[in-house]
Structure 1
């Protein structure tokens, strides 16, 4: 018989514990995502039948600001805190998962324009952090568990396990994937999605109904559209960040800030009849794939979501980015006489991918949502839009490992938020 040393026995024990926790976190995330989607669907239906709820959003802004300021313990950093927890030993409070679940629902119930993945990814990261710490898992293995928790959250909330697996590996660094977490991320993504679907979770599906024949015109249009996708991805992260800084600079009292910033959003919705941009705005994607979008749709959705997240409301960025990208792509397709659903699909994945700095996830998302028929175009749109955004994005805690351009070499080792401070 083979004699194992004490160190080898501990390594085997830690691996067994790690796998047990990956299964546990993936299972819990499947359940949580199912409940979150169910709650958001119920909240959306109720809000659409009670339009007056929008007028109460400023009070929810005050409540959100009060709770996070006084009881958040850093929870207001959201996904950035989860990213940082894979880079160093920091405290990730359990209450962060509870708060984001509750306040995401409140944001949508009262008309805020936000997403849903932020909550799922945060909860997956919180569960992984807490579980790993409670059993004394070494930090190098706990990091793998956190990556897996992020993958489980993304995969189960969108029904995209392949993209979810890569998202968990790609979210922390720009230009680098945590390949050592690959097997854990893949298992967590597919298992959490399986659990959610087993509970009855369903997702809205869209198709590329008219795949264009390969031609020089199509390739040129895809390249030019990808540049626009990158510009909108950059604008999205810029607007959210700029509005947060503007409100903080102009309104010192955090409760007044929560009220006023929400009131501005409500006023603009009412003044310009922007009710279609409240909540997840899934109707925008539906219209995009039917070729009914206008260039106003991505602009207004970007503005209203920027105002919502800039005011400090909970939710997420990914679904709004899907809305913006699909409506932008559809509009371009209608204008240039190329399949709107084809460019809507490319826009949907690319605007998200460049804003999240996750080009491989972008390609996998295309495969998950639309199949492999347009795979070469996913790659073209993904990498062009990714390059256009430069070192900007929705996750300020991402660290530059490999620069996007040779003239950005001095950014290596810095977080995106630190690069902004450096420029200022």
Structure 2
């Protein structure tokens, strides 16, 4: 027994001498602390996103079967805006207590109360027909839970920022079922802004993986399919439509399509900024802007003669002939659906409806790709629907790596070279990246002061 023990000590001594193991016990203490902080964030993000998707599914089907409810959209938007304004004002009434334990506890409560508020706001927006997404709410809920924990334990601003980033990665990975893309999304939006620390990589990938797993378990139990699962089940993916090996002519056609997708993505984000500014100028009270946006949305429904552009846009009330992300991947082609969705979304998000802006990007990109594919490359038409799906997202949010990984996680890796090529082209024509995204800027200012 002496020899093995001696050899074990010698091996351990050699490993330590070569700096293969951290010498300080503090390293292992810190690792345990991060594990205890990140695990509840990831589990909470996964569970919250699962029940959020359940609520959205029921609200959307309720709207499909009770069409009259869309006429309450202006009133619903105004009430949700008033609720959010009231909560935000209450959150700013405790500055005189700053530095006290009571202030910290109130801050934790104010941060956590925004989770059900964001949940309720997004569900109401989709229930009554506002053309908004859902990922913004998922990211906000996860980040607020992370920030609540950081305030509760009075963490330093740098650690607080890492927790918020980990929460964002968890929300993104859970809501779309794309954990690797969730981690890379945080890396990209912070790297371009110059705020990335490699210390955030491990927390982000850990929370994204755990939240995705938790959300998957709960959604399977609730019989809910996430976007990646629904798309994979469409007839479009049942056949042999993979194009292994790069075809120069097909690459040239993808190049032209990617340029157009990049331009649309740029128009989308610029349009959102312009829309917000216009609503702010013509309607000073913020709580009245959603009411005005709701009225304009109803007028657009009368003008286009369709309700397919209301709400999330993932499913339609009459598949597969309707206009939705799923219908596009099932082969539906209705011409200018993507353009109508763009207009509806600019009005709803610009006027202040809550939810997110990524899912409408998927609708717009897939819809435009569904139109372009049969026209410029009939032999590879399905490929263009998928390329449009990720390229508009890539161009709008300036995240080519994340978009490429989304394509891999949702569609598989058979055509990854085409997706990567298209995303880089779309990114190149989408404009420069000169500052942090607005949502990240606001989040960091509100929670960390960075």
TM-score (norm 1): 0.84
Change (3 A) 1:251 1:394: farther
Residues in 2 aligned to 1:343 and 1:276: alpha-carbon distance in whole angstroms: 22
The one of 205, 218, 225 aligned to 2:231 = 205
User: By how many angstroms is 1:57 displaced?
Assistant: 0.4
Q: CA deviation at 1:391?
A: 3.2
Alpha-carbon distance in 1 for matches of 2:327, 2:436:
26
Taking the TM superposition and a 5 Å limit, the aligned residue runs for 1:169-188 are 169-174=187-192, 178-188=197-207
> How far apart are the structure 1 equivalents of 2:170 and 2:291?
34
Which string of whole-angstrom CA distances, capped at 9 and with x for unpartnered residues, describes residues 153-181 of structure 1? 01111111111121122233427654331
User: Where does 1:62-77 land on structure 2 (aligned, <5 Å)?
Assistant: 62-73=78-89
Cα 1:253–1:36 shift into 2, 3 Å: same
Mapped partners of 1:218, 1:25: distance in 2: 44
Greater displacement, 195-204 / 238-247:
195-204
Whole-Å Cα distance in 1 between the matches of residues 380 and 271 of structure 2? 30
Counterpart among 92, 100, 105 of residue 118 in structure 2: 100
Q: Partner residue of 1:85?
A: none
Residue matched to 2:437: 395
Closer/same/farther in 2, CA of residues 339 and 163 from structure 1, 3 Å limit: same
Quote the Cα distance in structure 2 between the aligned partners of 1:332 and 1:340.
8
- Deviating 4+ runs (over 3 angstroms): 8-15, 175-179, 206-209, 391-395
The residue number in structure 1 matching 2:184 is: 166
| Residues 41-50 or 145-154, more deviating | 145-154
Q: Name the structure 1 match of 2:415.
A: 374
The equivalent residue for 1:43 is 59
Other structure's SS at 2:111 match: coil
Q: CA deviation at 1:11?
A: 5.8
Take 1:244 and 1:384, find their aligned partners in 2: how far apart are those partners?
28
Counterpart-to-counterpart distance in 2, 1:175 and 1:373: 32
Q: Deviations over 1:34-71 (max 9, x none)?
A: 10000000000100000011000000121122122232
Give 2:400's match in structure 1, choosing from 359, 372, 387.
359
Aligned residues of 1:240 and 1:309 also touching (Cα < 8 A):
yes
In structure 2, list runs of 5 or more residues that go unmatched.
Answer: 1-12, 17-23, 92-106, 316-323, 442-450
Q: State which structure, 1 or 2, has the greater radius of gyration over its C-alpha atoms.
A: 2
Counterpart of 1:276 in 2: which secondary structure? coil
SS of residue matched to 1:347: helix
CA shift in 2, pair 1:256/1:130, >3 Å: closer
Are the aligned partners of 2:59 and 2:123 in contact in 1 as well (CA < 8 Å)?
yes
Cα pair 1:170 1:178 within 8 Å, conserved: no
* 1:19 alignment partner in structure 2: 35
The CA distance in 1 between the partners of 2:193 and 2:160, in whole Å, is: 22
> Alpha-carbon deviation of 1:397?
5.2
* Counterpart for residue 251 of structure 2: 219
Match of 1:244 among 252, 257, 276: 276
Q: Is the 8 A contact 2:76 2:124 kept in 1?
A: yes
User: Which residue of 2 is the match for residue 298 of structure 1?
Assistant: 338
Change in Cα spacing, 1:346 to 1:74, as seen in structure 2 (3 Å) is: farther
TM-superposed CA distance for 1:205, in Å, is 2.4
Secondary structure, in 3 states, of the residue corresponding to 1:372? coil
Separation in 2 of the partners of 1:74 and 1:171? 31
Give the SS at the match of 1:171: helix
Q: Given that residues 262 and 395 in structure 2 are in contact (C-alpha distance below 8 angstroms), is that contact kept between their aligned partners in structure 1?
A: yes
Aligned partners of 1:64, 1:391: CA distance in 2, in Å?
35
Q: Indicate the RMSD between aligned Cα atoms, in angstroms.
A: 2.6
Q: List alignment gaps of at least 5 residues for structure 1.
A: 3-7, 76-89, 400-424
Aligned counterpart for 1:228 among listed residues 233, 240, 260: 260
